[in-house]
Structure 1
Amino acid sequence: MIEAHRHTGPLVIRTALPAEAEVVAGLHVRARSTYYPDGLPEDGFDWAARWGEAIGRSDGQVLCAVRDGRPVGVASFRTPPGPPAKTVELLQFHVDPGHWRTGVGSALHTACVEQWRADGRRSAVLEVRVDNARAQAFYARRGWVPDPENPPAEGGHHLYLRYAVRSGE
């Protein structure tokens, strides 16, 4: 069951802080568990440690959507290894389920695109689970399309999407 939250304060998008890794990990797990019908599989990852590493990486960035002093959305992206350097990879994008349909995801996506544009990126890529219709619809509304360079594997669990980062939008 998704708990509804009161949304009182303004939404602030900023770089995640190392001290927020555990809170961000909890948000990540809550969001991911919504699209696994049998519950989130035990993956053995220490998500707080992984988010701490992501926040500290020099080749990437983690943005947080913060309301009332608490992260309610998170996006992690980096420049993938190898060419093309004008592409950025969106690794994680989650909104706490209690904050769905409140504009958090839209604001966070807009902040990502603004950062990519400022960094001179021309395209972005991501993977989304084939059974995550909510995320696929979110991305499609923002202009993400199937990546022609990475068609889905037969029986695969992920779709690959691409986004054109246009200058001056």
Structure 2
Amino acid sequence: MIRNQVTGRHVIRTALPAEAAAVAGLHARARATYYPDGVPQDGTDWLAGWRAEIERPDGHVLCTVQEGRIVAIASFRTARDAPADTVKLFQFHVDPDHWRTGLGAALHAACVEQWLADGKRYASLDVHVDNERAQAFYARQGWVPDPENPPADGDHHLFLRYAVSGE
């Protein structure tokens, strides 16, 4: 497990349960950027959701801390319906005030390091079709459309795959 990976002016480490509110706030700010009509209000309690995610024994939530503030987060685990050698990246967000600073690439590299340590061969994710910035970021990191999971008509997400060991 990654513990306090210091890179330049920031630290990448496992998020703590007491940081759930900060993580949920960053998540909300990042999501708001790709919903043209505002983030859908579906009744989800994101604070409770992030608290549970951080405390999951079978998952990881990494955060990037800069000057005492969480500025990027990544949440991943083996999904119930996925092969054991595949990890699912559920959430990956960089605070919009820190886009294009290299924090996302550094956090992604830390995720890959953890996936390799966990013996994962592949990673999967889904990204909102309107989130072109994230799609471009993932493409730069080496993610490709998942050939086993093409989007269905009317689907609001694209499904991507990543070869963890660079296969």
Q: TM-score range by the shorter chain?
A: over 0.9
Map 1:100-119 to 2 at 5 A.
100-119=99-118
| Cα-to-partner distance string for 1:13-53 (whole Å, 9 max, x where unaligned) | 00000000001000000000000011111121111110000
SS at match of 1:126: strand
Asked if residue 156 in structure 1 is aligned to residue 155 in structure 2, the reply is: yes
Relative to structure 1, the CA distance from residue 36 to residue 17 in structure 2 (aligned partners, 3 Å threshold; closer, same or farther) is: same
SS at match of 2:136: helix
1:3 equivalent in structure 2: none
Asked if residue 54 in structure 1 is aligned to residue 53 in structure 2, the reply is: yes
* Structure 2 Cα separation of the partners of residues 162 and 83 of structure 1: 12
Counterpart amino acid of 2:99? W
Size of the alignment, in residue pairs?
160
1:13 equivalent in structure 2: 12
Relative to structure 1, the CA distance from residue 32 to residue 153 in structure 2 (aligned partners, 3 Å threshold; closer, same or farther) is: same
Map 1:1-169 to 2 at 5 A.
10-166=9-165
* Structure 2 Cα separation of the partners of residues 127 and 43 of structure 1: 19
* Structure 2 Cα separation of the partners of residues 13 and 40 of structure 1: 27
* Structure 1 Cα separation of the partners of residues 15 and 82 of structure 2: 27
TM-score by length of 2: 0.93
TM-score by length of 1: 0.92
| Superposed structure 1 runs of 4+ greater than 3 Å apart | none
* Structure 1 Cα separation of the partners of residues 103 and 47 of structure 2: 22
| Cα-to-partner distance string for 1:90-131 (whole Å, 9 max, x where unaligned) | 000000101111111011100000000010000000000111
User: Over the residues paired in the alignment, what is the CA RMSD in angstroms?
Assistant: 1.3
SS at match of 1:20: helix
- Aligned-residue offset at 1:81: 1.0
* Structure 2 Cα separation of the partners of residues 46 and 145 of structure 1: 31
Counterpart amino acid of 1:19? A
* Structure 2 Cα separation of the partners of residues 11 and 45 of structure 1: 31
Counterpart amino acid of 1:57? R
* Structure 2 Cα separation of the partners of residues 83 and 15 of structure 1: 23
Counterpart amino acid of 1:104? L
